[in-house]
């Protein structure tokens, strides 16, 4: 199994337990670089497992949660 896909599972589990997490929160919690976690989050979002939640006041600040 590729290393990136293993990290996808770790990222997915973290977001499941901590909905509304930002890329930085996930990266700090699992000890991975933000740019790597961003790729994991993008892949999980593209696969339909996560959705992006934006704050109306600051749309650049994106957080993630599981799809419903």
Confidence band of 41 (pLDDT split at 50, 70, 90): very high
Return the HEC string of the chain.
Answer: CCHHHHHHHHHHHHHHHCCCEEHHHHHHHHCCCHHHHHHHHHHHHHCCCEEEEECCCCCCCEEEEECC
What is the tens place of the pLDDT at every residue in 43-57? 999 999 999 998 766
Query: What pLDDT is attached to residue 19?
Result: 95
| Beta pairing partners, 63 | 22, 53
Residue 1 has pLDDT above 50, yes or no: no
Confidence band of 2 (pLDDT split at 50, 70, 90): low
What pTM value is reported for the model? 0.86
Please state the rounded mean pLDDT for residues 50-68.
84
């Amino acid at each position: 199994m590729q290393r990136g896909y293993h990290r996808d599972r770790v990222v997915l589990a973290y977001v499941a337990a901590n909905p509304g997490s930002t890329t930085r929160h996930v990266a700090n919690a699992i000890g991975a670089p933000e740019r790597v976690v961003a790729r994991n989050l993008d892949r999980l979002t593209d696969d339909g497992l996560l959705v992006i939640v934006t704050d109306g006041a600051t749309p650049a600040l994106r957080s993630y949660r599981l799809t419903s």
